[in-house]
Amino acid sequence: MPAEDRFDDELDGGAPDLGPDERDLDLMDGTWEERYYSGRMRQRDWQGVYVGLALLALMGLVIPALVVLFR
């Protein structure tokens, strides 16, 4: 098989190429920092998650009590 048809990791004797590739360009040129610190990246609202879990726990306590009370 000609060398042009083989994958790049096969040229080294089967060892994968662990160096940076096109997916790592944003890490090398610093654009990820620009996007992260500009505030345009969405982040999870943990306070909303905690409120949802608290409501779920509260319903888990109240609903069985109401079922027993109105049985």
pLDDT tens-digit map of 4-62: 555 555 555 666 777 777 777 777 787 877 877 787 767 778 999 999 999 999 999 99
Residue 64 has pLDDT above 70, yes or no: yes
Q: What 3-state DSSP class applies to 14?
A: coil
The domain locations on the chain are 1-40, 44-71
Q: What is the pTM for the complete model shown?
A: 0.42
Contacts of residues 41-47 at CB distance under 8 Å and 24 or more positions apart, as own/partner, are none
